[in-house]
Structure 1
Amino acid sequence: MSQNDPQWGGGNRGNDGPPDLEQIFRNVTRKFRGNHSGGDGNGFPSGGRGFKGGLVAIGGVLAALWLASGFYMIDAREEGVVLRFGEYHRSTDAGLQWHIPYPIEQVEVVSLTDVRSLEIGYRGNDKNRVSEEALMVTSDLNIIDVQLSVQYDVLSARNFLFENACADRDCKDILKQIAESSIREVVGRNQVDFVLNEGRAKIASDTQVLIQQIVDRYQLGIRISKVNINNVQPPEPVLAAFDDAVKAGQDKDKLRNEGQAYANDVIPKAQGVAARLMQEAEGYKQRVIASAEGEAQRFSSVLSEYQKAPAVTRERLYLDTMQDILASTSKVFVDQKNGQNLLYLPLDKLMQQAKPGPTSTAPAANNETTPQTEGEVVAPAAANNGRDVVRNRDLGAR
């Protein structure tokens, strides 16, 4: 059939122009009515049953394709969320699943294992420039720049999709606000030296716990896997002063370690000397006590003998005393009782003469006593083991 056929809307138009759509629609409607009335109105035989069967077949194919579009596959690392007219209806696990096709139901697939990252304190894509959100105040009212990153994954797909104020696919808006407020709270509880030096790991741990508590309270369906403190430094205007303070602290620790090492070297030696002196003092104490006890016992024994024979005991005590005294000297001066002269006895010379030598001849009178006017001097070198004893009769009589 030609396009110029009047029943297709081409009878009133030129060969070059497109067919009139209104006319085509009118002609199709008239033919459809003619088929249902037993004729087509133009002399053609009726074909209503064949046309109706074709429409049913086409409709069945379209319905099958529409129903088949509801099948979908969920991976083991994912979770599906089925929405019915835009409202949450159910969650689906891994495997082949089916939902009523669009526009009745639709499915959102969320990955549960992808690690998402959120950075705080950076200005755009420039990792070297610090933004104003990195400025924080410590408990001692010092300002520092803290840059951190938060790593998280999805714990509940339903909460992640419907409890977050999401401006993007990863729903970072509300989490960024939570992380920023948490790090400010943790930094505000600590002093600047702790935050700058040894407290980075503690700050990161406390921040992670606090973020997770707030996320769970809001039921955001997020699990915080790790918080990294990437950089902590003072602001640029006071950076030099902080560097000097850090250097001074390092020098302090160095001197403290040197002093501790010196103390560890000196103290054990001093303790050893002190222990040795204590032992020596204890030995001296025991020796003195034993000597005193021995002297007391000797005095007690002498006293008992003195009570039996006083004169003999006095004479013996005198002789023993003089023997002890003269044994340690080489010169003796004897004062005669009624004379003006002192008698000098060179005991060392006498002892040398008393010892026989290979070339010397000792006089026979060495062992004899030398009489004096008022006293008697005895020098028995051999009999008294080389000792000289001066005996005064008058002193002995007393």
Structure 2
Amino acid sequence: MSQEQYEININPDWIKKYLVKIIGGIILLVILATSVKTVGPEEEGVVIQLGQYNRTVQPGLAFIIPFMERMYKIPVQRQLKQEFGFRTSSAAQRSEYSKTAYSEESMMLTGDLNLTDVEWVIQYRIVDSYKFLFRVRNAEKTLRDMSEAAMRKIVGDRTVNEVLTVGRQEIASSVEVLLQSMCDEYENGIRIDQVVLQDVNPPETVKPSFNAVNEAQQERETLINQAEAEYNRVIPRARGEATETVQLAEAYALNRVNRARGEANRFNSVYEAYIKAPEVTKQRIYLETIERVLPKLQNKIITDEKGSNVLPLLNLNGEPKKLNP
């Protein structure tokens, strides 16, 4: 091959033409890669043009102007959470947690000047992507600071016993209300779904003493419950017996009063009859008395008025003997 033919094969114009095509293809690929964005089904895309808000795009493919526009993807349909006093190091069937470097944010002072270790979780959603990005600088960090401030305020108004035992649900509800009001005031576009107290314990240095106090309080509550149960078992029965005795006494008194009134009325009626016919009434009373007394006697003796003749009548109460044929 001659030198003239070799120079034709390496013509610079040919090389420039292909270099331009290659560079143009690379630029086109870069433009396509930077201008086509995919917004997930749980997200919204907030487009910033030259540093200012331009529009909000819904899930799907979205196109932006390269080097002039920028898109932020905000998970508006996803429940998010923040952990305080611990972090989840691995989420699986048996999650693992790390607490070593986060004790400062969970150590709090109660209203009665005692220390307690409070671990909690807030669950929230982003309901307004524009406010989330533009109303507050670094909204997630601000939400963490607000949550810690709200928890310290609520815990600081209660005693250590309330925080560790009966007041946990009330504390969580109060923090949720207070934190939501702070979010509304800051207009950060966040809605608080739930505040959960994960674990509440006394500091490690006083934990044995506190457990002993708790055991004593639980034993006291047990004895009080047993005493109340015994009271509820004995007192109602005693009251029932007392009521029954009173009712029996009232019934007996009513019966005696009614009987006395009946006897008094009967005596008055007999007396009135006696006044009208003394002899007849006397005879009737005599016969009624004999009729009532004679059946109670075994042997009977009948005499005349002067008592000169005595005629004993034997076996007046016995049945007559049958004669043998």
1:273 to 241, 258, 268: 241
Identity of paired residues, percent?
A: 36
Conservation of the 8 A alpha-carbon contact between 1:163 and 1:220: yes
Partner deviation per Cα, 1:173-230 (whole Å, 9 max, x = no partner): 2122101111112223333322211222222222122212212221222233332212
1:159 aligns with 2:131: yes
Deviation digits for residues 254-283 of structure 1 (CA, Å, limit 9, x no counterpart): 223323332343344334423432442233
Kept after mapping to 1: 8 A contact 2:50/2:69: yes
**Residue 138 of structure 1 contacts residue 187 of structure 1 at CA under 8 Å; is this kept in 2?**
yes
Alignment size in residue pairs = 298
**More helix, by proportion:** 2
TM-score by length of 1: 0.59
Partners of 2:241 and 2:101 in 1: how far apart? 62
Which of 191, 196, 203 is the matching residue for 1:223?
191
Give the counterpart of 1:76 among 41, 59, 63.
Answer: 41
Aligned match of 2:152: 184
- Residue type of the partner of 2:38? M
Shift in CA distance, 190/379, structure 1 to aligned 2, threshold 3 Å: farther
State how far apart, in whole Å, the 2-side matches of 1:380 and 1:144 are: 108
* C-alpha distance after superposition, 1:333-372 (max 9, x if no partner): xxxxxxxxxxxxxx9xxx5xx3xxxxxxxxxxx7366999
Structure 1 residue 251 displacement after superposition? 1.8
Q: Give ranges in structure 2 of 5+ residues lacking alignment.
A: 4-12, 90-96, 319-325
Asked whether the equivalents of residues 84 and 102 of structure 2 are also in contact (C-alpha less than 8 Å), the reply is no
Report which of the two structures shows the higher radius of gyration computed on alpha carbons. Answer: 1
- Amino acid in the other structure paired with 1:223: R
Please give the root-mean-square deviation of Cα atoms over the aligned residues, in Å: 4.5
The 1-side partners of 2:311 and 2:262 are apart by: 32
Task: State the match for 2:223 in structure 1.
Answer: 255
One-letter code aligned to 2:37:
Y
TM-score by length of 2: 0.71
Q: Which residue of 2 aligns with 1:112?
A: 76
Check whether the contact 2:39–2:59 (CA below 8 A) recurs between aligned residues. Answer: yes
Distance in structure 1 (CA, Å) of the matches to 2:102 and 2:24: 63
* Match of residue 212, structure 1, among 180, 204, 215: 180
Q: Pairwise mapping of residues 4-19 of structure 1 onto structure 2 (< 5 A)? A: none
- The amino acid that maps onto 1:108 is Y
Query: In 1, are the aligned partners of 2:85 and 2:99 still within 8 Å (CA)?
Result: no
- Report deviation, 1:71: 2.2
Tell me the CA shift for residue 150 of structure 1.
2.0
Letter in 1 for 2:132: F
In 1: Cα distance, 2:232 partner to 2:311 partner: 67
- Contact 1:130–1:145 (CA under 8 A) maintained in structure 2: no
**What's 1:367 paired with?**
301
AA of the residue aligned to 2:264: A
Rounded Cα–Cα distance in structure 2 between residues aligned with 1:379 and 1:223: 118
Write out per-residue CA displacement over residues 233-271 of structure 1, whole angstroms, 9 at most, x where no aligned residue.
Answer: 223343333323322222232223323332343344334
1:131 and 2:103 correspond = yes
